[in-house]
Amino acid sequence: MEVDHASSIEALVQIFQKQKLALQAASERKGELPNDRKPRETLVREHMRSYIQLKSVYVQRRNMIQQSFVPPSYLPSTEPLQALKKLYIKDLKLETHHRGGCMLLRAVTPPTFMTAAVTIMEDEMNDGVVFQLYQQRNDRFRAAEEILRGDLPRAFSPNRYHDDGFVLKGPADSETFIEQVKGVYIVKEPYYKLMNDGNYGMRVDHVSDIIFLSLVDGRVPSCWQIPISESRKIVNELKQEGNLALKAGRMYEAAELYNRALESLPTAEETRIIKLNRSLANLRLGRYDQALEDAGELTAKFQRSEKGFYRAARALYELGKFQESHDALLSLLAVYPNCNEAKEELSRTKLRLTEQHSGYYDFSLMYEGSKLAPPHLDCATYLGPTEIGPSNGRSRGLFVTRDVKVGELLLCEKAFAHCFANTGEGDSASTIKLLLNTHTDRVFLGTQADLVTEIVQKMYRNPSTISAFTSLHHGEYEPAKETEVDGEPVVDSFLVDRIMSLNVFGCPRTSREAHFDTEQKRKEKSYHTCGFFIRASYINHSCYSNARRSFIGDMQIVRAARDLAAGSEIYFTYAGPNPNHTYEEAQKGLKSWGFSCTCTICEHRKATKNGVTRKRADLLKDLMSAFDDSKNPNLPKAEQILSALEKTYSAPAKTVPRLALWVPYSLLTRCYQMQNRHEKTVQMAWKVLESQGFVIKRENPASTSSPFEIEHWGLMNDFLVETWVHLWVAYAHVARGLCDKVEKCARMAYKLCVGEDVTFDETYGRMAREAMFEGVNLGRAFVAMNV
């Protein structure tokens, strides 16, 4: 929804065709046992050349666009490891998923990292293979070199490589280099393929298909194990080294050292201390489930550690379990009343519980948080008066549990995952990715590829979050039935991709910022930033929506756009209704979601005869010509044509909003405002609202000063705020007693569009009062804004 679809761009169509031809050529070699594999030494040399080149240009990579292809989908391995047969590189067949097999491999180079971590692996027979591991984050706690544990030796320097041979000189020769790279892995049911550059390689898309082995693991061959002096380190030495790594911010290394310490037969007390230390590393790595487990029992009877209580509470907080976190902190303070960290955390947790239970948010603080990069806010989710239920023709939907009024907060949801694209200049600029799926012919431009990785990593690190995500609609894709094997979660990257593509939201940094974009910026604006919101994903589409969504950072705000009775289903638009679209064009725009819209707007389009459609288009063309002279528009002609255009609609506007009318009526409203013709401004503003389905009861419809009531709020869009403000200023001249009522409507429209009304006075409110009391022409002010 509001993400960057780029599937129709000619250059991308050509890329699609080229990739499809490459896939077809590769498929023709399926099952082939190649006899021209490159030696390990050649693969290492070629990889290191690429590694050094990427390192040398890394600082210059700003605002790059990277391409990422989604391969043909395949299921993750769900077989227990003991049931798999050992394979070697020489056994691998092209374009084949080696079901029933597994491989023991060691990384012999540090990885490059673009859309995947790429390294060279070897097996016990000294054969090498290009290895690609997808869905990996290059985050602040882990450099690219650590993703596959391909750390460079301390003696290594890129300057020691010669272009003609890439041979290490001095004490760190090539073999020394290779032997110091320590990553050992088991790859389950490996996928061997012909790569785009003509080489052969192994690709792993499911993070649960690779097992990272400790170097003291009994499955590691003796020739690959760490030196005996290292393996015989006592528990305390490993714990101390882990503590040093933790202090230095090397979280992955710290967690690995603590793992080794726990494998070295510690005492019960040593185990407790090591796990407490590891819980801190896991907290910082986003492994909140494991951090919670490491922290130990959450009762005073079993938990005697202040650190354990506190870290358990922190893990629960990060998992969104604020009540449990609150209770843990109370238990902590009951035993350790002087713990200041717990007191501060308790205050923060109470704020989250207030948000969660009442829906009260400090929007000013939220805006401050949205200025960060990434704009990830410390807020809780408010589920409001909503529940999930069966929806006619749409499987499930979201419904209101009680009567609600227009503007009421239905949902305020923290993103399950959110990827921010900073498109600024210099060091703050982001790399933008193209995610191309040759099987669905869809292209996303933005951070959707990163979002898949974020979701995969979150679920793999925190299995407790998996079921909420995988229960969402995923089209016709059939995932694996098993969700766990050998005590570890099974995470299907292709299932994540399917669910993400059907439910992803494009997100402005704030809807308020987007609301005030100029018309040109609106056309050029691309929501590279995207987020995934589980509860909001249950809201189905209707062109005639009854709710509005808006964003502040990684929070989505959903408000009722009209009064709703208990049991009503909530709808918002996935793609806003275009007044120029035919029925076929409207349905084509919704095709990627796999449904046809049956709302009243679409049904009216479908029933409208071609002759009426053509007549409406001709009238619109003539109408817009009346505004060709921006300094002296022909307003009588415009009103005359609009009157004829209204007659092309037969259904009441409340039932079917007249989409083609609101833009010209809005232009007329602004023009009359610029001419200070206040009664005409009022008349045209009401026309705008009525064309959008608003039902306004007036005691005397012929009088511009007649009191009114809004009986039904129609289809909302951002430009209607301007209409209400024009009414507000005009009524200051023709019926000042009605100004307060119109101001409230203007404020409500603003709240629906940007999510809150606390900033209304500093924007539209200021403009309106300048027009009323300082003589500023409001119409010209809007023209100057070019909105």
Give 533-546 pLDDT, tens digit per residue.
999 999 999 999 99
Reduce the secondary structure of 63-95 to three states and give it as a string. CCEEEEEECCCCCCCCCCHHHCEEECHHHCCCC
Q: Is the pLDDT higher at 284 or at 24? A: 284
Q: Is the pLDDT higher at 180 or at 396? A: 396
What is the mean pLDDT of the segment spanning 735-759?
A: 97
CA gap 472, 494 in Å, rounded: 14
pLDDT at 748: 98
pLDDT at 157: 36
Q: How far lies 28's CA from each of 93, 293, 596, in Å?
A: 12, 49, 37
The torsion angles phi and psi of 648, rounded to 5 degrees, stand at -80, -5
- Closest to 331 (Cα-Cα) out of 299, 294, 292, 296: 299
For residue 82, how many C-alpha atoms fall within 13 Å in the half-sphere facing its CB? Answer: 2
Residue type, 192: Y
pLDDT digits 0-9 by tens, 3-44? 755 555 666 777 777 777 878 888 889 999 999 999 999 999
What is the mean pLDDT of the segment spanning 360-372?
A: 97
Say if CB 88 and CB 33 are below 8 A apart.
no
Report which DSSP code applies to 541: E
CA gap 401, 392 in Å, rounded: 17
What is the mean pLDDT of the segment spanning 50-54?
A: 84
Say if CB 359 and CB 382 are below 8 A apart.
yes
Q: Is the pLDDT higher at 125 or at 223? A: 125
Cβ-based neighbours of 388, under 8 Å, separated by 6 or more: 396, 397, 398, 399, 538
Beta strand residue intervals within 237-283, DSSP E: none
- Closest to 761 (Cα-Cα) out of 723, 787, 725, 709: 725
Length of the chain counted residue by residue? 787
Distance, CA of 4 to chain centre: 12
**Is 175 a residue whose pLDDT tops 50?**
no
What is the mean pLDDT of the segment spanning 83-109?
A: 96
pLDDT at 711: 96
CA gap 117, 260 in Å, rounded: 25
Report the chain's terminal Cα–Cα distance, integer Å: 23
For the chain, the average pLDDT equals 87
Q: What confidence tier does 776 reach under pLDDT thresholds 50, 70, 90?
A: confident
What is the mean pLDDT of the segment spanning 468-485?
A: 92
Query: Structural domain boundaries of the chain?
Result: 31-228, 229-358, 656-785
Q: What confidence tier does 665 reach under pLDDT thresholds 50, 70, 90?
A: very high
**Is 46 a residue whose pLDDT tops 50?**
yes
Residue type, 511: S
Question: What kind of architecture, by CATH, is found in domain 229-358?
Answer: Alpha Horseshoe (1.25)
pLDDT at 527: 57
Distance, CA of 402 to chain centre: 30
Residue 740, Cβ density class (10 Å: 0-12 exposed, 13-18 middle, ≥19 buried): exposed
- Closest to 715 (Cα-Cα) out of 661, 669, 783, 640: 661
Which helix (H) or strand (E) element contains residue 624? Answer: helix 610-625
pLDDT digits 0-9 by tens, 617-639? 899 889 988 888 877 889 999 99
**Is 176 a residue whose pLDDT tops 60?**
no
pTM of the complete model beyond 0.85? yes
pLDDT at 275: 94
pLDDT at 787: 53
Q: Is the CATH number 3.40.50.11540 carried by domain 31-228?
A: no
Q: Are strands 432-437 and 442-446 parallel, antiparallel or unpaired?
A: antiparallel
pLDDT digits 0-9 by tens, 261-272? 998 889 999 999
